[in-house]
Amino acid sequence: EADIYQTPRYLVIGTGKKITLECSQTMGHDKMYWYQQDPGMELHLIHYSYGVNSTEKGDLSSESTVSRIRTEHFPLTLESARPSHTSQYLCASSENERQETQYFGPGTRLLVL
């Protein structure tokens, strides 16, 4: 069982609201990731980080932003939520090797009305 946590697990919010999805891991992993997953679809990488103060955009364009002030914490923020942001958001982390298994959190299911 991986020690990676996401809150909230479910969120229903109105259009235009600012939201922050939390992700924390206690494994001391340097690398962290955010994926977006629609029902029945593959995971798409939207952000990743190599370590503190490092953030990069993934393949899928996203209006969200991330920050990495602490190793264990990698929050994702949407400044103004829209219905098109409705999806599942998965956070993952891995050790700082060239290729290492990514461990996933339970996900946040977001519904924007």
Partner 1 sequence: GESVGLHLPTLSVQEGDNSIINCAYSNSASDYFIWYKQESGKGPQFIIDIRSNMDKRQGQRVTVLLNKTVKHLSLQIAATQPGDSAVYFCAENGGGNQFYFGTGTSLTVIP
User: Which residues of this chain interact with partner 1, rule CB under 8 A?
Assistant: 2, 6, 31, 40-43, 45, 48, 50, 58-59, 90, 92, 98-99, 101-107
Min CB(66)–partner 1 separation in Å = 15
Query: Of 54 and 80, which CB lies nearer to partner 1 in the complex structure?
Result: 54
Count other Cβ atoms within 10 Å, centred on residue 83.
10
Which has the closest alpha carbon to 63: 107, 93, 23, 19?
Answer: 19
CA distance 78 to 69: 18
Min CB(53)–partner 1 separation in Å = 16
Query: Of 90 and 112, which CB lies nearer to partner 1 in the complex structure?
Result: 90
CA distance 3 to 28: 10
